[in-house]
């Protein structure tokens, strides 16, 4: 029996020849990279857990160049791996075999910003943090924010439908992305780069590409609706004795902070231990089993401070939280946020990490961590839980000193069966990529998966775009 996490077999794509390289060099002079040392970083994912063996990295600058590349690869039956900032966590961003890597890193131009509507239009390779800096100077912000902001690109964010730390407030990219420009597998350019809020003329095709992980088309440009920069931002770091109290704090917080609540995130004491040990980040409050990061964003500092004060007083007097600290100035806000944002980094220093990104009814999310700890006993080094409570999204991570197939067999399918029993999602925000592709049936009906296969076959009949990713192996790609 083949394990669902085993490497797929190489599909019969052609291999790159000298004639192919001559073609690429003609359209991308100086941007057709074949030096193995320069290609190497693009063959390995951020977690250093997946390694491809591509020999060619292409760095187009324009949509027209992407179109020429795909048209050629399609006619030659050459597989292509679209790559943004290479921060993806499910092995989707790197080749599995010798797929040509198509990097969007040089497609980093801002095309337009409309300061009345707040709509930003840019090329897909713009780094998320650079877009944030650009907008902040104009009194706006990006509607999404995540720990990988310094490297991830907006095209990659859209391709994975990244959630992140502000989803609670500004919603998912399915709502904020207003338009996309795409290049299909055969090189056709699909211009859906609308900047309109409302457009019900037929099917909303762009939605199909949001979260399609590079399997249906290459995103070359994005238009996105950006909120005004809030005039007042506060961050609170709180400690709770139980997860039940944390949930009650969430309820209280939604009621008392209402429209100014912009994030409600959590980490457990195991995360704090890893932050202390591996990154030397000190705990700003007393030791507690659970920690909460709450952010408020509003337009009136006095009003927000009053609301926050009332909430904190209530949370303290009703003993929901046992300790806490508040930040209003930027440096302290950043320091508190890094306790949440840098857990992923801390985990990489703890050992080989098995990652699970689960959506569950919010009241069940920590039960999975507790059950997993019981289930694994002393077989794991660390079992940690953190994530986006406000979105019902748990990040369950298990580490071991090195890759450990026996430990993996103990975690899976236990974690997936547990999730499916609550009708949860086995990938809340990171996608399926290479690692989770065969587990899709835990969260999607077989009819739905078959329909996905039909859509893939229609848009990419030869299956050249990011093969071995997202769709399960039993669907012919
Ligand atoms: P890549 O990693 O390069 O690619 C990701 C996928 O998108 C691949 O399948 C790739 O083929 C495809 N792709 C990339 N660009 C394009 C394009 N232009 N057209 C078509 N397909 C494309 N995710 C969250 O949802 N929330 C978080 O809070 C979060 N935090 C993170 C924190 C850290 C420290 C790290 C390392 C990752 C985090 N992630 C998070 C994972 C997240 O998916 C990525 O960070 C980000 O969205 C991917 O963007 P990227 O440019 O790096 O894409
Ligand atoms: C986060 O929310 C990211 O910090 C990464 O989605 C989660 O590393 C993880 O498991
Ligand atoms: Zn996350």
Does 64 have pLDDT greater than 70? yes
pLDDT digits 0-9 by tens, 11-35: 999 999 999 999 999 999 999 999 9
Q: Is 353 in the pocket of ligand 2 (CB under 6 A)?
A: no
Q: Are 100 and 56 in contact (CB under 8 A)?
A: yes
Q: What percent helix, strand, coil does the chain show, rounded to 5?
A: 40, 20, 40
Cα–Cα nearest to 169, from 295, 337, 312: 295
The rounded Å distance from CA 183 to ligand 1 centre is: 19
Tell me which DSSP letter residue 43 carries.
H
Cα–Cα nearest to 296, from 316, 311, 281: 311
For all residues of the chain together, what is the average pLDDT?
97
Strand residues in 148-305 grouped as ranges (E)? 177-183, 189-192, 218-225, 232-240, 261-268, 290-298
| CA atoms within a 13 Å half-sphere pointing along the CA-CB vector of 83 | 31
Identify the pLDDT of residue 477. 54
DSSP helix/strand/coil, 42: helix
Average the pLDDT over 445-460 and give the result: 98
Q: Are 338 and 145 in contact (CB under 8 A)?
A: no
Cα–Cα nearest to 415, from 389, 458, 383: 383
30, two tokens: 């100086």
The rounded Å distance from CA 158 to ligand 1 centre is: 8
Q: Are 56 and 24 in contact (CB under 8 A)?
A: yes
Task: Name the pLDDT band for 1 (thresholds 50, 70, 90).
Answer: low
Does 61 have pLDDT greater than 80? yes
Average the pLDDT over 301-305 and give the result: 97
Average the pLDDT over 273-282 and give the result: 98
Does 2 have pLDDT greater than 90? no
DSSP helix/strand/coil, 471: coil
Domain ranges across the chain: 110-225, 232-343, 350-430
Identify the pLDDT of residue 5. 80
Identify the pLDDT of residue 274. 98
DSSP helix/strand/coil, 148: coil
pLDDT digits 0-9 by tens, 186-208: 999 999 999 999 999 999 999 99
Q: Which CATH number fits domain 350-430: 3.30.70.360, 3.30.70.2740, 3.40.50.970, 3.30.70.1230?
A: 3.30.70.2740
Average the pLDDT over 283-289 and give the result: 98
The rounded Å distance from CA 395 to ligand 2 centre is: 6
Could you tell me how many residues make up the chain?
477
pLDDT digits 0-9 by tens, 250-264: 999 999 999 999 999
Regarding beta strands 218-225 and 119-123, do their DSSP bridges make them parallel or antiparallel, or are they unpaired? Answer: antiparallel
Q: Could you give the percent of the chain with pLDDT greater than 90?
A: 98
Task: Name the pLDDT band for 4 (thresholds 50, 70, 90).
Answer: confident
Q: Is 194 in the pocket of ligand 2 (CB under 6 A)?
A: no
Q: Is 355 in the pocket of ligand 2 (CB under 6 A)?
A: yes
Identify the pLDDT of residue 31. 98
How many CB atoms sit inside 10 A of residue 228's CB? 13
Identify the pLDDT of residue 329. 93
pLDDT digits 0-9 by tens, 390-408: 999 999 999 999 999 999 9
Residues with CB under 6 A from ligand 1: 46, 82-89, 92-93, 104, 124, 146-148, 152-153, 155-157, 159-160, 162-164, 213-214, 218-219, 344, 429-430, 433, 466, 469
418, two tokens: 């547990």
The ligand placed nearest to the CA atom of residue 157 is 1
Identify the pLDDT of residue 126. 99
214 CA closest ligand 1 atom index: 21
Average the pLDDT over 451-466 and give the result: 98
DSSP helix/strand/coil, 232: strand
Any idea which residue has 């769709």 for tokens? 471
The ligand placed nearest to the CA atom of residue 144 is 1
343 CA closest ligand 2 atom index: 4
Q: Do domains 232-343 and 350-430 have the same CATH topology?
A: yes
The ligand placed nearest to the CA atom of residue 183 is 1
Identify the pLDDT of residue 476. 64
Packing angle of the helix pair 63-76, 18-27 (nearest 10 deg): 160
Q: Is 147 in the pocket of ligand 2 (CB under 6 A)?
A: yes
Cα angle, residue 469 at apex, residues 388 and 87 outer, rounded to 5° = 50
Name the residue of 145, 147, 433 whose CB sits within 8 Å of the most ligand 2 atoms, as the mutation to test its pocket.
147
Q: Is 397 in the pocket of ligand 2 (CB under 6 A)?
A: yes
> How far is residue 454 CA from its own chain's centroid?
25
CA dihedral 461, 467, 471, 473 (to 10 degrees): 100
Cα–Cα nearest to 261, from 319, 308, 326, 329: 308
Cα–Cα nearest to 41, from 49, 32, 51: 51
What are the CA-CA distances from residue 355 to residues 89, 381, 386, 418 (Å)?
8, 14, 11, 15
pLDDT digits 0-9 by tens, 110-165: 999 999 999 999 999 999 999 999 999 999 999 999 999 999 999 999 999 999 99
Q: Could you tell me where the DSSP H helices lie in 83-153?
A: 128-136
The fold adopted by the segment(s) 110-225 is 3.30.465
pLDDT digits 0-9 by tens, 338-379: 999 999 999 999 999 999 999 999 999 999 999 999 999 999
342 CA closest ligand 1 atom index: 34
The fold adopted by the segment(s) 232-343 is Alpha-Beta Plaits (3.30.70)
Q: What is the DSSP string of 133-154?
A: HHHHTTTB--S---TTTTT-BH
Q: What phi and psi, each to the nearest 5 degrees, are found at residue 245?
A: -65, -35
Put the strands of the sheet holding 119-123 in their side by side order: 110-114, 119-123, 218-225, 177-183, 189-192
Average the pLDDT over 421-431 and give the result: 98
For residue 395, give every residue at least 6 positions away whose Cβ sits within 8 Å of its Cβ, in sequence order, or none: 343, 344, 355, 356, 357, 358, 385, 386, 387
Identify the pLDDT of residue 218. 99
């Amino acid at each position: 029996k083949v394990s669902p996490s085993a490497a797929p077999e190489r599909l019969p794509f052609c291999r790159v020849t000298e004639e192919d390289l001559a073609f690429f060099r003609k359209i991308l002079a100086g941007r057709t990279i074949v030096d193995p040392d320069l290609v190497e970083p693009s063959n390995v994912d951020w977690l250093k857990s997946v390694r491809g063996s591509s020999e060619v990295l292409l760095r187009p600058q324009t949509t027209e160049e992407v179109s020429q590349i795909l048209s050629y690869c399609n006619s030659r039956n050459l597989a292509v791996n679209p790559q943004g900032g290479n921060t993806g966590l499910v092995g989707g961003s790197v080749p599995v075999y010798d797929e040509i890597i198509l990097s969007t890193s040089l497609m980093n131009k801002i095309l337009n910003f409309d300061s009345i509507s707040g709509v930003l239009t840019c090329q897909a390779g713009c780094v998320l943090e650079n877009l944030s800096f650009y907008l902040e100077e104009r009194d706006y912000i990006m509607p999404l924010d995540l720990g990988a902001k310094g490297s991830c690109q907006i095209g990659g964010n859209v391709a994975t439908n990244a959630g992140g730390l502000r989803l609670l407030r500004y919603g998912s990219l399915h709502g904020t992305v207003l338009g996309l420009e795409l290049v299909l597998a055969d090189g056709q350019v699909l211009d859906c780069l609308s900047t309109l809020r409302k457009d019900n003329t037929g099917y909303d095709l762009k939605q199909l590409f949001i979260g399609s992980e590079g399997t249906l088309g290459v995103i070359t440009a994005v238009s996105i609706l950006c909120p005004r920069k809030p005039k007042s931002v506060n961050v609170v770091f709180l400690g709770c004795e139980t997860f039940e109290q944390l949930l009650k704090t969430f309820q209280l917080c939604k009621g008392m902070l209402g429209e100014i609540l912009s994030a409600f995130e959590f980490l457990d004491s195991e995360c704090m231990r890893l932050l202390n040990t591996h990154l030397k980040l000190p705990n700003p409050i007393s030791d507690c089993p659970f920690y909460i990061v709450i952010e408020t964003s509003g337009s009136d500092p006095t009003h927000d401070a009053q609301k926050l004060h009332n909430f904190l007083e209530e949370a303290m007097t009703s003993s929901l939280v046992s300790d806490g600290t508040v930040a209003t100035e930027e440096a302290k806000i950043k320091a508190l946020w890094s306790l949440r944002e840098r857990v992923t980094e801390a985990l990489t220093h703890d050992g080989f990490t098995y990652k699970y990104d689960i959506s569950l009814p919010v009241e069940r999310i920590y039960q999975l961590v507790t059950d997993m700890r019981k289930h694994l006993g002393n077989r794991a080094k660390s079992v940690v839980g953190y994530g986006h409570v406000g979105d019902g999204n748990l990040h369950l991570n298990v580490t071991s000193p090195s890759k450990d197939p026996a430990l993996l067999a103990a975690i899976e399918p236990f974690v997936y069966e547990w999730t499916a029993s609550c009708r949860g999602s086995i990938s809340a925000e990171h996608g399926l990529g290479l690692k989770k592709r065969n587990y899709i049936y835990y969260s999607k009906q077989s009819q739905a998966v078959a329909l996905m296969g039909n859509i893939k076959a229609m848009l990419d009949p030869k299956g050249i775009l990011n093969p071995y990713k997202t769709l399960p192996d039993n669907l012919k790609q």
